[in-house]
Structure 1
């Protein structure tokens, strides 16, 4: 039994973190073993507030040690990480990635380095962003930052398309083999823009902006999980990027049509297998 280890936040109501990422990867044919870094009643953008707490690093380590005792670490093909609840979580992630790679050198690590965004501010605990930049992102095979997180990683501003292209190249010099910039907000007002870069080149994906009364939360978690699942299914790097763009748009369109702002991953589940709309990529 091959699997994906997904380590990120979880909400009981709605879809964010593992609550958003696990099902799409399962729907695309993967066994997914989830470890939650936090357990909240709902995501933090609900005006009513939320309840719950971050798990300490020891709990995360203990759950991973339980997996290790089952002798299944060699069966982990991919590791996906998202929101981390504190600096100690970063150290645990590094240890887990190194241990899994010891048992399966071919395991790929997909890191969504959640730090924040200009419209949300810093959304992680003090010290997390610094450790993501210095310790976690450099050991990833694939990083999935937004525009702000990409600029933090390379230590330079990213405001234009050309700067984004250069930033992806500089990011790969720091360790990752692939960069999926999940939202370049300053590139276009008319389209939602993502960029993918690997050793062969850079590619741009754009899809229509969809208006919402409140912006959906968890889109970055969805992008990371769908790309990881597609690539681990045997799609090429560029094919997985295009599939990801198409599928995520389909989920957002279903969400909008239902008048919701919690991502409708269940109602739109066929999008993960066969996206209803196709958008071409631009080679840069």
Structure 2
């Protein structure tokens, strides 16, 4: 049984981390092996608070060792990582990726380097951002940062489209083969903007903004999961990017229609497979 090892946060109620990422990958036809870095009652943007705890790096390593013990790492097609609860977890991630690739050299690693965003600032524990930038992101086949996380990785500010292209190109020289920027807020006020950069060039995806009383959480986790599943289907990165963009919009549109802020992933599940609205990507010409 081949599968995707998804190492992310988990919420009991709602959709964030693995709770946002696992079902879309399953709905797209893949077995998913969820491994939780933290387990919270709900995501942390609830003003009422939350309960739960982070697991240690040793907890992750122990579970991966168990999968190795039953000789299943050879069947791991991809490792997808998101929110890390401690710096020690970053070390466990590095070790896990190396182990998986030893057992299956064709496996890919997709890293969503959760550090924060311009509005929230840094939202992770001490040491995590440094490990992500210096040790984790360079070993990834694909990274899925937001604008803030990309700027931290490449050490340059992003104010416009030219800056974004330059930052993505620099990131491609630092280890990753693909860069999917899940939100470029400096490009347009009128449209939500994403970018993909590969050796083939840079591509832009834009869609209408949707209004929410409270902004949904777990959108980045949804995007990275859709992109991962698309790549494993054998799609070209551009196709996987466009599909992730369109499917994510469909989930958000259903969420908005229902007046919710928890992602309506289950209600929009058919759209995850075949989005009814398509926003074609465009190549960026210099």
Taking structure 1 as the reference length, what is the TM-score of the superposition? 0.99
Q: Which residue pairs with 1:204 in the alignment? A: 204
* Shift in Å, 1:118: 1.1
Question: In 2, Cα distance between the equivalents of 1:209 and 1:174?
Answer: 32
Q: Which residue pairs with 1:179 in the alignment? A: 179
Question: In 1, Cα distance between the equivalents of 2:270 and 2:121?
Answer: 34
Alignment of 1:36-47 (within 5 A): 36-47=36-47
SS across alignment from 1:261: coil
Alignment of 1:213-228 (within 5 A): 213-228=213-228
Question: In 1, Cα distance between the equivalents of 2:58 and 2:280?
Answer: 45
**4+ residue segments displaced more than 6 Å:** none
CA deviations 1:222-279 (Å, max 9, x no partner) are 0000000011011111000000000000000000000000000000001111001000
SS across alignment from 2:234: coil
Taking structure 2 as the reference length, what is the TM-score of the superposition? 0.99
Q: Which residue pairs with 2:136 in the alignment? A: 136
Question: In 1, Cα distance between the equivalents of 2:136 and 2:171?
Answer: 13
Question: In 1, Cα distance between the equivalents of 2:31 and 2:205?
Answer: 28
Q: Which residue pairs with 1:241 in the alignment? A: 241
Alignment of 1:94-109 (within 5 A): 94-109=94-109
Determine whether 1:283 maps to 2:283.
Answer: yes
CA deviations 1:180-219 (Å, max 9, x no partner) are 0000011111110000000010000000000000000000
Instruction: Flag structure 2 segments of 5+ consecutive residues without an equivalent.
Output: none
SS across alignment from 2:124: coil
Tell me how large the CA RMSD over aligned residues is: 0.5
Q: Which residue pairs with 1:34 in the alignment? A: 34
Q: Which residue pairs with 2:4 in the alignment? A: 4
Instruction: Flag structure 1 segments of 5+ consecutive residues without an equivalent.
Output: none
Question: In 2, Cα distance between the equivalents of 1:120 and 1:271?
Answer: 30
Q: Which residue pairs with 2:60 in the alignment? A: 60
Alignment of 1:68-147 (within 5 A): 68-147=68-147
Question: In 1, Cα distance between the equivalents of 2:159 and 2:40?
Answer: 34
SS across alignment from 1:171: helix
Question: In 1, Cα distance between the equivalents of 2:280 and 2:27?
Answer: 24
* Shift in Å, 1:47: 1.0
Question: In 2, Cα distance between the equivalents of 1:199 and 1:236?
Answer: 12
* Shift in Å, 1:14: 0.2
Determine whether 1:260 maps to 2:260.
Answer: yes
* Shift in Å, 1:24: 0.3
